[in-house]
């Protein structure tokens, strides 16, 4: 299980490059990975193009593809312990979080079930209608419409939630009849290779699923090559902007799930245990390395101090360390440079007047690993850099408000619009406020971990466009074709 996966087989890198994959908790070498080049990527694109243009996959019925995908999901679930251990070692997730990322498998299986329920016929008839013809005569028209695959899909995934996104993107693209070239993060290639290995064992048609590793040059080929019809990308807004520019000359379909600076509004009538628990989970889940995590905590001034006290108590019981230990609840950041970047942002915020409630430093008891303590800041204005920019680390900020209108204004004053939430005992008011949040995925009275399997996921503004999951997440990988004709 190494190298590029092209045409249902493993291939050593053309340029013969390898690199160590580091366990971020121990700094030890987890494994040696091949580094793909543009030559390897070119071969993967060619295999995917051939599979789509001449292979059987796109010509199979949706039901037949769904049955094949069900085999894949069943086989992956059978390897769940192996996958969890891999996520822990490669990405540094705590065990419970790593297990949660396996939710991608039943999520995508349910998406297939939903698709079956909505589209029992792949070709759907249009109603008979009388329309004026070009010459003014009346014409009885009929027709059909059909969802068809886009073509070759490049799926580019990040290190955080790598396995989850590998499955979500690839499954949605495959079940709708496309062929895929998956490029995982250079930090977490094994989470893509285990998917490829499982597909190989199930004898999928050659070329419908391919994996190529590598860096920016490989990604740029995927975003510019005219043989690629669509790019599905999860990552930063800066890279998303670059992909848009690179893909423009070939007018590729894009699905972009980008950065976030999501806000959690805690009303005066909120259950403080629920509110503080949700807020603390949001700054520690995946060590804060999640695009949708709620890191701006907008709390009613009358309960703000009590909210902070509860979060502080939770921080005192957090167990930061090597996530291979089941007792550990907070793991490391992915690399030293990311830890140092987060520390620099916190230090700069403090220099600008922010107050550290807890955390704000590296754990003294850990001499190895890329750790940073869960951190909470107050005395931060929404105009501050740390309130505007994505931190991607275990850092939250608390800001106060007096009225619902003020809370909504603070929450919406962001260039991002991925997620948000409202915690209130008044469900009706919480729903009304959710409708006014400028974000694509809102969770009330919980955290973003409360994902609804049928809910489409994606953002507004600089958080990207397009949707993953649900039927909308399947439609994203299709084109809609209409065929009309004279009836009778």
- CATH of residue 300's domain is 3.40.309.10
CATH of the domain at 24: 3.40.605.10
Residue 290 tokens, joined = 């999640």
Q: Are residues 280 and 423 in the same domain?
A: yes
Residue 224 has pLDDT above 80, yes or no: yes
Residue 33 tokens, joined = 């990975």
Q: What is the pLDDT of residues 346-381, one digit of tens each?
A: 999 999 999 999 999 999 999 999 999 999 999 999
Predicted local confidence at residue 347, as pLDDT: 98
pLDDT: which is higher, 194 or 101 = 194
Grade residue 110 by pLDDT with cuts at 50, 70 and 90. low
Q: What is the pLDDT of residues 40-67, one digit of tens each?
A: 999 999 999 999 999 999 999 888 898 8
pLDDT: which is higher, 12 or 331 = 331
- Residues contacting residue 364 through CB under 8 Å, at least 6 positions apart: none
Q: What is the 3-state secondary structure (H, E, C) of the chain?
A: CCCEEECCEEECCCCCCEEEEECCCCCCEEEEEECCCHHHHHHHHHHHHHHHHHCCHHHCCHHHHHHHHHHHHHHHHHCHHHHHHHHHHHHCCCHHHHHHHHHHHHHHHHHHHHHHHHCCCCEEEEEEEEEECCCCCEEEEEEEEEEEECCEEEEECCCCCHHHHHHHHHHHHHHCCCEEEEECCCCCCHHHHHHHHHHHHCCCCCCCEEECCCCHHHHHHHHHCCCCCEEEEECCHHHHHHHHHHHHHHCCEEEEECCCCEEEEECCCCCHHHHHHHHHHHHHHHHHCCCCCEEEEEEECCCHHHHHHHHHHHHHHCCECCCCCCCCCECCCCCHHHHHHHHHHHHHHHHCCCEEEECCCCCCCCCCCCCCCCEEEECCCCCCHHHHCCCCCCEEEEEEECCHHHHHHHHHCCCEECEEEEECCCHHHHHHHHHHCCCCEECCCCCCCCCCCCCCECCEECCEECCECHHHHHHCCEEEEEEEEECC
62-78 vs 80-91: helix crossing angle, rounded to 10: 70
pLDDT: which is higher, 15 or 247 = 247
Q: Are 333 and 287 in contact (CB under 8 A)?
A: yes
Structural domain total, the chain: 2
Q: Are residues 267 and 254 in the same domain?
A: no
348 lies in a domain?
A: yes
Q: Are 468 and 456 in contact (CB under 8 A)?
A: yes
CA dist., res. 126 & res. 145, Å (int): 7
Q: How many CA atoms lie within 13 A of 431 on its CB side?
A: 3
Residue 416 has pLDDT above 90, yes or no: yes
pLDDT: which is higher, 483 or 229 = 229
Q: Are residues 22 and 104 in the same domain?
A: yes
Please give the C-alpha separations between residue 140 and each of 126, 137, 481, 485, in angstroms, as whole numbers: 12, 10, 20, 9
User: What is the pLDDT of the chain when averaged over all its residues?
Assistant: 93
459 lies in a domain?
A: no
Q: Are residues 479 and 430 in the same domain?
A: no
Predicted local confidence at residue 453, as pLDDT: 72
Q: Are residues 271 and 221 in the same domain?
A: no
Q: Mean pLDDT throughout 121-139?
A: 74
Predicted local confidence at residue 1, as pLDDT: 57
Catalytic residue ranges: 257
Grade residue 314 by pLDDT with cuts at 50, 70 and 90. very high
39 lies in a domain?
A: yes
Task: Lowest mean pLDDT of 10-19, 279-288, 414-423, 437-446, name the range.
Answer: 10-19
Task: Lowest mean pLDDT of 89-103, 246-260, 318-332, name the range.
Answer: 89-103
Q: Mean pLDDT throughout 266-279?
A: 96
Residue 301 has pLDDT above 60, yes or no: yes
Task: Lowest mean pLDDT of 73-87, 123-137, 156-170, 259-273, name the range.
Answer: 123-137
Residue 139 tokens, joined = 């014409």
Q: How many CB atoms lie within 10 A of CB 218?
A: 26
Residue 116 has pLDDT above 70, yes or no: no
Predicted local confidence at residue 465, as pLDDT: 93
Q: What is the pLDDT of residues 165-191, one digit of tens each?
A: 999 999 999 999 999 999 999 999 999
475 lies in a domain?
A: yes
Residue 340 has pLDDT above 70, yes or no: yes
79 lies in a domain?
A: yes
Most confident of 68-82, 400-414, 454-468: 400-414
Q: Mean pLDDT throughout 198-211?
A: 97
- Residues contacting residue 385 through CB under 8 Å, at least 6 positions apart: 345, 348, 349, 352
**Rg for the chain, CA atoms, rounded:** 24
Q: Are residues 52 and 100 in the same domain?
A: yes
pLDDT: which is higher, 127 or 395 = 395
Q: Residue 477: which of 231, 131, 214, 135 has the closest Cα?
A: 231
Residue 274 has pLDDT above 60, yes or no: yes
Grade residue 155 by pLDDT with cuts at 50, 70 and 90. very high
CA dist., res. 240 & res. 415, Å (int): 14
Q: Residue 255: which of 315, 165, 335 has the closest Cα?
A: 165
Residue 311 has pLDDT above 80, yes or no: yes
Q: Could you tell me the residue range of the domain that residue 159 belongs to?
A: 4-258+464-486
Q: Mean pLDDT throughout 248-258?
A: 98
Residue 7 tokens, joined = 């045409």
Q: Are residues 150 and 298 in the same domain?
A: no
Grade residue 17 by pLDDT with cuts at 50, 70 and 90. confident
Q: Are residues 230 and 314 in the same domain?
A: no
Q: Are residues 176 and 313 in the same domain?
A: no
Predicted local confidence at residue 151, as pLDDT: 99
High-pLDDT (> 90) share of the chain, %: 80
Q: Residue 7: which of 37, 39, 50, 67 has the closest Cα?
A: 50
Q: Mean pLDDT throughout 398-420?
A: 98
Predicted local confidence at residue 451, as pLDDT: 65
Q: Are residues 320 and 362 in the same domain?
A: yes
Q: Are 179 and 208 in contact (CB under 8 A)?
A: yes
Residue 102 has pLDDT above 90, yes or no: no
Q: Are residues 243 and 342 in the same domain?
A: no
- ∠ Cα 226 231 235 (to 5°): 140
High-pLDDT (> 70) share of the chain, %: 93
Residue 96 tokens, joined = 């419970």
Q: Are residues 36 and 146 in the same domain?
A: yes
Predicted local confidence at residue 115, as pLDDT: 65
- ∠ Cα 25 30 33 (to 5°): 130
318 lies in a domain?
A: yes
Residue 9 has pLDDT above 90, yes or no: yes
Residue 225 has pLDDT above 60, yes or no: yes
The rounded Cα 404 to chain-centroid distance in angstroms is 30
240 lies in a domain?
A: yes
Q: Are 74 and 105 in contact (CB under 8 A)?
A: no
458 lies in a domain?
A: no
Please give the C-alpha separations between residue 201 and each of 104, 175, 205, in angstroms, as whole numbers: 20, 18, 11
């Amino acid at each position: 299980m190494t190298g590029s996966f092209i045409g249902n087989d493993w291939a050593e890198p053309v340029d013969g490059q390898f690199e160590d994959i580091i366990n971020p908790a121990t700094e030890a070498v987890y494994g040696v990975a091949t580094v793909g080049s543009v030559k390897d990527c070119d071969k993967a694109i060619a295999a995917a193009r051939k599979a789509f243009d001449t292979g059987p996959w796109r010509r199979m019925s949706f039901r037949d593809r769904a049955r094949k995908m069900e085999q894949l999901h069943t086989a992956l679930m059978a390897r769940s312990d192996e996958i969890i251990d891999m996520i822990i070692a490669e990405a540094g997730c705590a065990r419970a979080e790593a297990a949660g990322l396996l939710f991608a498998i039943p999520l995508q299986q349910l998406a297939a079930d939903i698709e079956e329920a909505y589209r029992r016929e792949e070709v759907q008839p249009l109603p008979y209608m009388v329309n004026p013809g070009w010459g003014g005569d009346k014409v009885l028209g009929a027709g059909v419409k059909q969802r068809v695959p886009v073509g070759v899909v490049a799926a580019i995934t990040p290190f955080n939630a790598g396995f989850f996104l590998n499955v979500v993107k690839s499954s949605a693209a495959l079940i709708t009849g496309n062929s895929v070239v998956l490029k995982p993060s250079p930090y977490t290639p094994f989470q893509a290779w285990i998917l490829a290995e499982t597909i190989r064992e199930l004898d999928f048609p050659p070329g419908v699923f391919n994996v190529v590793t590598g860096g920016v040059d490989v990604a740029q080929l995927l975003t510019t090559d005219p043989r690629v019809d669509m790019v599905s990308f999860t990552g930063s807004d800066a890279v998303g902007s670059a992909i848009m520019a690179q893909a423009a000359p070939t007018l590729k379909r894009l699905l972009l799930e980008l950065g976030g600076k999501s806000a959690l509004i805690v009303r005066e009538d909120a259950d403080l245990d629920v509110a503080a628990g949700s807020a603390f989970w949001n700054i520690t889940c995946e060590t804060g390395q999640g695009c949708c995590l709620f890191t701006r905590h907008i709390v009613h001034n009358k309960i703000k101090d009590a909210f902070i006290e509860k979060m502080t108590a939770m921080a005192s019981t957090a167990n930061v360390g090597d996530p291979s230990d089941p007792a550990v609840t907070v793991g490391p950041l992915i690399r030293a440079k990311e830890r140092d970047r987060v520390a620099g942002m916190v230090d700069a915020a403090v220099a600008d007047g922010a107050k550290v409630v807890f955390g704000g430093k590296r754990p003294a008891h850990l001499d190895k690993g890329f750790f940073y303590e869960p951190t909470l800041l107050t005395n931060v204005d929404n105009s501050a850099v740390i309130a505007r920019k994505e931190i991607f680390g275990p850092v939250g900020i608390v800001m106060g408000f007096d009225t619902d209108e003020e809370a909504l204004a603070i929450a919406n004053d962001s260039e991002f619009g991925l997620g948000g939430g409202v915690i209130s005992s008044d469900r009706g008011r919480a729903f009304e406020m959710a409708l006014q949040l400028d974000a694509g995925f809102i969770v009330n009275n919980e955290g973003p971990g409360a994902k609804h399997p049928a809910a489409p996921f994606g953002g507004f503004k600089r958080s990207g466009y397009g949707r993953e999951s649900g039927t909308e997440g399947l439609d994203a990988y299709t084109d809609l074709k209409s065929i009309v004709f004279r009836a009778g």
